[in-house]
Amino acid sequence: MTKSAYAMITVEEALRMVLAQAQPLPPARVKLADALGLALAEDALAQDPMPPFPSAGVDGFAIRVEDGRAPRAFQGEQMAGVVSGLRVAPGGAVRITTGAPVPPGADAIVMVEVAEEVNGQVILRHLPGAGDGIRPVGQDIRAGEVVLSRGTPLGAAEIGLLATIGKGEVLAHPRPRVAVFSTGDELVEVETALAPGKIRDSNRHALMAAVRASGAEPLSLGVARDNPADVEAKIDEALAAADAVISSGGVSMGKLDLVKPLLERRGTIHFGRVVMKPGKPVTFATIGGKPLFALPGFPVSSLVSFELFVRPALRRMAGHQQVTRPRIRVALAHDVQHDAARTEFQRAVAAYEDGQVVARTTGFQGSGRLLSLVGANVLLVLSAGRGDFAKGETVEALVVGEIY
Ligand code: AMP
Ligand code: MG
């Protein structure tokens, strides 16, 4: 029997170790068009108020409320984007479009739905109150207001706000560049016909997609063959090109599991075994401060260990404060078998049913069966220390996709 040199640690300890090493990348100027999903690295301050001028909130007529319900003399038009120079005189009205500057003299806009112009007269079917239909200066944003604070993740609304306040470029944490390579003599490229003993390299494609989905930038480094020189060359290439490195395969207890000894020699291994299923041999190291994740070769093991350890690290490197997935409680739709020896992350589909979230397994939970991840929007967290679960029990789950 071979014994692993690495202490078995818990998922929580492992995540703590990863987050203790992963540091936010130095901020850089980024064009607004490239900023989606990034974490802002500065406070964004509005120089100008919004709206910057008293602005019509509706289409209608600019009037003076004190003139009462009497018909007004039609004075002309004030469209959006120009300053007409018109002033609303006592007893007068100016046609106005939404977003146009309110002409001086007016204190309300009567909506076009309740007013009309007939032969030079504006007839009101409703008298608005003072200020109605007018968006005052600074109603939405005050001059000098911090509209977004450092650390805010940039989504559509945030990017719109930055555009509003005139920032075409922002200081943000860049997307981590992540080199991804596979290891194994059995691996061939996707479009290669399978010769005896060969399988296609799926991990590299799956992991690169997972990297991209986490907001980072994947770099493909291909496949390292099962010899130390090849693996070391890939590691060197990866370290030169990227902020973080992901390999898959070659970390269990087989004769050709070469990755750990190499990492040991080149840097520091923080952990090499975690009490979890799938993904027990997941390994985390640093070389010169850069994180390297040596993930297990089985496709589900590699993606689940990415989810638990790599994604939080990449989020942290990208400057995000919220780096782990939300946890919720879900009710089991059926009995679930569980080995009390390890924390297990079972793939399931959760859905709202009668006011609670109910989870159903994706079927056979083999570490090689990628189909067990297809459609899975939760990972059931079946903690070590207790065995099987019964239908109707609630368990903790990591939300990894949208719940419908
Ligand atoms: P290993 O961790 O290298 O012992 O690999 C464990 C299992 O995962 C073996 O059945 C490998 O053939 C398989 N495997 C390893 N790397 C990949 C990969 N890149 N794509 C698909 N399967 C893989
Ligand atoms: Mg292998």
Given the CA of residue 186, which atom of ligand 1 is nearest to it? 12
Contact 285, 294 (CB under 8 A): yes
The pLDDT of residue 363 = 98
Note the CATH architecture for domain 11-25+174-317: 3-Layer(aba) Sandwich (3.40)
The pLDDT of residue 116 = 98
Is the minimum distance from the CB of 298 to ligand 1 under 6 angstroms? yes
Note the CATH architecture for domain 55-135: Beta Complex (2.170)
CATH 2.170.190.11 domain range(s) in the chain: 55-135
Is the minimum distance from the CB of 254 to ligand 1 under 6 angstroms? yes
* Residue nearest atom 14 in ligand 1 by C-alpha distance: 297
From first to last of its 404 residues, what are the pLDDT tens digits of the chain? 567 789 999 999 999 999 999 999 999 999 999 999 999 999 999 999 999 999 999 999 999 999 999 999 999 999 999 999 999 999 999 999 999 999 999 999 999 999 999 999 999 999 999 999 999 999 999 999 999 999 999 999 999 999 999 999 999 999 999 999 999 999 999 999 999 999 999 999 999 999 999 999 999 999 999 999 999 999 999 999 999 999 999 998 887 789 999 999 999 999 999 999 999 999 999 999 999 999 999 999 999 999 999 999 999 999 999 999 999 999 999 999 999 999 999 999 999 999 999 999 999 999 999 999 999 999 999 999 999 999 999 999 999 999 99
CATH 3.90.105.10 domain range(s) in the chain: 28-49+139-173
CATH 3.40.980.10 domain range(s) in the chain: 11-25+174-317
The pLDDT of residue 312 = 99
The pLDDT of residue 131 = 98
Q: What is the CATH number of domain 327-399?
A: 2.40.340.10
Query: How far is residue 124's CA from residue 108's CA, in Å, rounded to a whole number?
Result: 12
Burial 130-167 (b: 16+ CB within 10 A, else e): eebbbbebbebbeeeeebbebbbbbeeebbebbeebeb
Q: Measured in angstroms, how far is the CA atom of residue 238 from the centroid of ligand 2?
A: 19
Is the minimum distance from the CB of 202 to ligand 1 under 6 angstroms? yes
Q: Of the bound ligands, which one is closest to the alpha carbon of residue 294?
A: 1
User: Domain 28-49+139-173 class?
Assistant: alpha beta
Site to substitute for ligand 1 among 187, 257, 304, 306, most atoms within 8 A of C-beta = 187
Given the CA of residue 204, which atom of ligand 1 is nearest to it? 19
